[in-house]
Amino acid sequence: MKVVSQSIDKLDAMALVTGKPVYTNDIAPQNCLIVKVLRSPHAYAKILSIKTDTALKVPGIACILTYKDVPNKRFTMAGQSYPEPSPYDRLILDQYVRYVGDPVAIVAGDSEKAVQKALKLIKAEYEVFKPILDPEEAIDNNTVIHTEEDYHVNFDIGNDVKRNICCSGGFESGNVDEAFEKCDVIVDEVYHTKANNQAMMETFITYTHMDYNGRLNIVSSTQIPFHVRRIAARALDIPKAKVRVIKPRIGGGFGAKQTVVSELFPAIVTLKTGKPAKMIFDRYETFAASTSRHEMKIRAKVGSDKDGNIKAIHITTLSNTGAYGEHGPTTVGLSGHKTMPLYNKAGAFKFEFQVVYTNTMSAGAFRGYGATQGAFALESAINELAAKLNMDPTILRQKNLLEEGEVLTAYHGETLRSCTLNSCINKGKELIKWDEKYPYKRISDHKVRAVGTAITMQGSGIAGIDIASVQIRLNDDGYYTLLVGATDMGTGCDTILGQMAAECLECDMDKIVVNGVDTDQSPYDTGSYASSTTYVTGMSVIKACKKLRDQMLTEASKILKVEKDTLEFDGQKIYNEEKSITLDKLAQELVVGDGNYLMASASHSSPYSPPPFMAGFVEIELDTETGQITVIDYFGIVDCGTPINPKLARIQVEGGIAQGIGMALCEDITYTELGKMKNNSFMQYKIPSRRDVGNIKVAFESSYEPTGPFGAKSIGEVVINTPPPAVAHAVYNAAGVNIRSLPITSEKILKGIMAKR
């Protein structure tokens, strides 16, 4: 292949590094009203009154809106295909506030100074209720968080809102109880992962305006332009035809922008005033008034015979969705369905879950989307099982690994068509020198170096639900325009999709123009989430390019007056043994007189979601006197099928590993007794710097996925999952202490060491 599998620079690389105006705030007009939100100081309360008369007198204030001034139509902020599984439990502004930071009033004015002054002058009176902050206390609590009569779910998700249960359910294959009775060794432990913030560089930002046709235009940093259109239309109670959404460049999302966070506030201001409006979340709001990763408490029970043959796996997940249920019903499933299938040879699987409401900031989408939490639990349990068996954990895994051709009963019954996970493990062992270093080496009287490992899988889009459409056009000068609805959020998907088109059309990349997303112009795409773009949208590109090639041959046969079946196309010309026409000439002929301007469209939705795989290996140095951890090396070996762009794939792996190390060692969201978030800035919420992640090294063990474009699978999410269990394993090997709650802090390690002594 000439273009696919080549490390081509991102199409927008120079624009980004030279500071071109490409982000939402760069292109927003100067005359926008500034929009900000008054937020609740209480975790759970009813608004009794709001006095805005004094605030409205501040010079420059255009409007102040309360729950009485906005549509009373419930919706979900979750960017998911309709009918959304997430409950409709939100209003733009509600009389009830359910977490510290929930919107109380919207203020818009000519300047930030005026708006900030007005915010301070609004007087709200509340009836305060006792909040629920612990998910284990939520079910059947005397405090019921959602009491509204118009609460709505589109279908049965195991919802029991009067018990604070957002959703519940489960899955079972085989008889787990009988299988455990036959096991010689069992690990049965509870693992706790905390809420994490996505911490992208660009916060949430939206500007809105009315166009000359009286349509609401929403320009936003979002991963889900088409879902924003649908959700905004519902929440604002206007027809979808009256909403247009445009997505400029995005300064990072990691799932945070799969939720409608900032869009509705300036939109309602524009509808009320007719003026352009802009809202930029400050960093405090991004931390305390958006969405986070779901906190989960996961009980993992794993049993095997004395030889390490795993017989049964039982996972029970309690997930904290916070004050609202966006992504709650969908995230939790991955904690079981994208972990247990790794050990497909086990005869029995059981997965049970409950997702509960609490009075904390709502949880949403974050890279890994539940599989990350599940991987920490199950992979930690597997490492503990290996210790009980006195067996090398890599050998235990390889003894029980899934294999190509197997039906994955715990993965919705899919057949595994591509997998090199065993090779990933072998490669990782070789790179880190596992057999030499495992389990640890003492380097001084109080410092130990140890290694740890974990494996993981994810998916490639949502089978039978995700759909992507593209359109490709042959322009009059013989170059192509590729229109996609997929959202490039810094991952380089515009480049990757362009590479696929160039490969199909046998041309250089400079012949492919890829446009950004505009819901008025772009073909429909569910959005950039669930690791779908390369796999799902990529197949649409291939289909559309095949159609366009066929059209080009048809039109060339008419011009050349030869049979179409005799013609070939080499990217530069269409020809047979006797006649030929260059692509430039053909393109020019087709836009003159009775020519036929060529364009082709295609859509793709896959009944499969082939899993990518990864093996992670870490080496740490642990100070047994202080509990201090230093990451020395991290090796990530990935099976993502065929890497379309190895350089961009490598960057995805490196970034995901760094985020996973942050989750493992330092990232933590906690609340006061009254429900106020403690970690609401980068002063309190620590993410790792380059110096904290050690040497990250990446290798690929390619497979070929027959259902994917050029054999490709996804890579975006699988790369974040292994660091937490791998680091926890290394800590055990170094100090003999199992840390089962994240983050893995020096204090926890030192307490474990002291308790052991």
Asked whether 97 and 42 are in contact (CB, 8 A), the reply is: yes
Q: Can you tell me the distance from the alpha carbon of 504 to that of 541, in angstroms, rounded to the nearest whole number?
A: 9
Q: Is the peptide bond before 706 cis (omega within 30 degrees of 0)?
A: no
Q: Can you tell me the distance from the alpha carbon of 404 to that of 406, in angstroms, rounded to the nearest whole number?
A: 6
Is residue 26 over pLDDT 90?
Answer: yes
Q: What integer pLDDT is reported at residue 301 of this predicted model?
A: 98
Assigned CATH topology for domain 468-604: Aldehyde Oxidoreductase; domain 4 (3.30.365)
- The pLDDT tens digits for 530-567 are 899 999 999 999 999 999 999 999 999 999 999 999 99
How much is the average pLDDT of 493-509? 97
Beta partners for residue 279, in sequence order = 206
Q: What integer pLDDT is reported at residue 512 of this predicted model?
A: 97
**Contacts with 437 (C-beta within 8 Å, 6 or more apart), sequence order:** 449, 450, 451, 619
Phi, psi angles (nearest 5°) of residue 312: -155, 145
Q: Can you tell me the distance from the alpha carbon of 676 to that of 681, in angstroms, rounded to the nearest whole number?
A: 13
How much is the average pLDDT of 65-79? 98
Residue 70 pLDDT level (bands cut at 50, 70, 90):
very high
Show the tokens assigned to 49.
Answer: 């009154």
Q: What integer pLDDT is reported at residue 544 of this predicted model?
A: 98
Range(s) within the chain of domains with CATH label 3.30.365.10: 417-460+609-756, 468-604
Is residue 105 over pLDDT 90?
Answer: yes
Q: What integer pLDDT is reported at residue 490 of this predicted model?
A: 87
**Contacts with 433 (C-beta within 8 Å, 6 or more apart), sequence order:** none
From the list 559, 543, 516, 519, the residue with the least C-alpha distance to 602 is 543
Q: How much is the CA Rg of the chain, to the nearest whole Å?
A: 27
- The pLDDT tens digits for 150-178 are 999 999 999 999 999 999 999 999 999 99
Q: Can you tell me the distance from the alpha carbon of 471 to that of 466, in angstroms, rounded to the nearest whole number?
A: 17
Residue 92 pLDDT level (bands cut at 50, 70, 90):
very high
From the list 532, 371, 556, the residue with the least C-alpha distance to 474 is 556
- State the burial class of residue 315 (Cβ atoms within 10 Å of its Cβ: 0-12, 13-18, 19+): buried
Residue 713 pLDDT level (bands cut at 50, 70, 90):
very high
- The pLDDT tens digits for 445-479 are 999 999 999 999 999 999 999 999 999 999 999 99
Phi, psi angles (nearest 5°) of residue 232: -65, -45
- The pLDDT tens digits for 598-612 are 999 999 999 999 999
**Contacts with 757 (C-beta within 8 Å, 6 or more apart), sequence order:** none
Residue 757 pLDDT level (bands cut at 50, 70, 90):
confident
Q: Can you tell me the distance from the alpha carbon of 157 to that of 168, in angstroms, rounded to the nearest whole number?
A: 7
The DSSP letter of residue 303 is E
Q: What integer pLDDT is reported at residue 414 of this predicted model?
A: 97
Q: Give the CA-trace dihedral at 314, 320, 326, 329, to 10 degrees.
A: 20
Q: What integer pLDDT is reported at residue 132 of this predicted model?
A: 98
Show the tokens assigned to 125.
Answer: 């009176």
Asked whether 179 and 348 are in contact (CB, 8 A), the reply is: yes
Is residue 102 over pLDDT 90?
Answer: yes
How much is the average pLDDT of 712-731? 98
Q: From the centroid of its chain, how far is CA 267?
A: 25
Q: What integer pLDDT is reported at residue 455 of this predicted model?
A: 98
Show the tokens assigned to 93.
Answer: 């502004």
Beta partners for residue 514, in sequence order = 482
Asked whether 696 and 714 are in contact (CB, 8 A), the reply is: no
User: What is the pairing mode between strands 599-604 and 468-474?
Assistant: antiparallel
Q: Can you tell me the distance from the alpha carbon of 204 to that of 717, in angstroms, rounded to the nearest whole number?
A: 21
Show the tokens assigned to 513.
Answer: 């123009």
Q: Can you tell me the distance from the alpha carbon of 293 to that of 372, in angstroms, rounded to the nearest whole number?
A: 10
Percent of the chain at pLDDT > 90 equals 98
Asked whether 331 and 369 are in contact (CB, 8 A), the reply is: yes
Is residue 334 over pLDDT 90?
Answer: yes
Asked whether 315 and 374 are in contact (CB, 8 A), the reply is: yes
To the question of domain 417-460+609-756 being in CATH 3.40.640.10, the answer is no
How much is the average pLDDT of 327-334? 98
Q: Can you tell me the distance from the alpha carbon of 369 to that of 717, in angstroms, rounded to the nearest whole number?
A: 8
Q: Which amino acid is at 685?
A: Y
In whole numbers, what is the pLDDT of the chain averaged over residues?
97
Name the region of 711 (left: φ>0; alpha: ψ -120 to 50; beta: rest).
left
Assigned CATH topology for domain 31-129+198-288: Aldehyde Oxidoreductase; domain 3 (3.90.1170)
Q: Which amino acid is at 671?
A: Y
Write down the number of H helices and E strands in the chain: 19, 30
Q: Give the CA-trace dihedral at 51, 55, 57, 60, to 10 degrees.
A: -140
Is residue 347 over pLDDT 90?
Answer: no
Longest pairwise C-alpha distance within the chain: 90
How much is the average pLDDT of 506-513? 96
Residue 756 pLDDT level (bands cut at 50, 70, 90):
confident
Q: Can you tell me the distance from the alpha carbon of 635 to that of 416, in angstroms, rounded to the nearest whole number?
A: 25
Q: What are the helix (H) ranges across 510-619? A: 538-560, 583-589
- State the burial class of residue 736 (Cβ atoms within 10 Å of its Cβ: 0-12, 13-18, 19+): middle
- State the burial class of residue 147 (Cβ atoms within 10 Å of its Cβ: 0-12, 13-18, 19+): exposed
Answer positive or negative: Cα dihedral of 397, 400, 405, 406: negative
End-to-end Cα spacing for the chain: 60
Show the tokens assigned to 362.
Answer: 């709502």
User: Can you tell me which residue has the tokens 């082939």?
Assistant: 610
Q: What are the helix (H) ranges across 467-580? A: 493-505, 538-560
How much is the average pLDDT of 645-650? 97
Beta partners for residue 474, in sequence order = 480
Q: Give the CA-trace dihedral at 735, 739, 742, 744, to 10 degrees.
A: -10
Range(s) within the chain of domains with CATH label 3.90.1170.50: 31-129+198-288
User: What is the pairing mode between strands 568-569 and 517-518?
Assistant: unpaired
Is residue 329 over pLDDT 90?
Answer: yes
- The pLDDT tens digits for 31-64 are 999 999 999 999 999 999 999 999 999 999 999 9
Q: How far is CA 32 from CA 206, 278, 279, 290, in A?
A: 11, 6, 9, 23
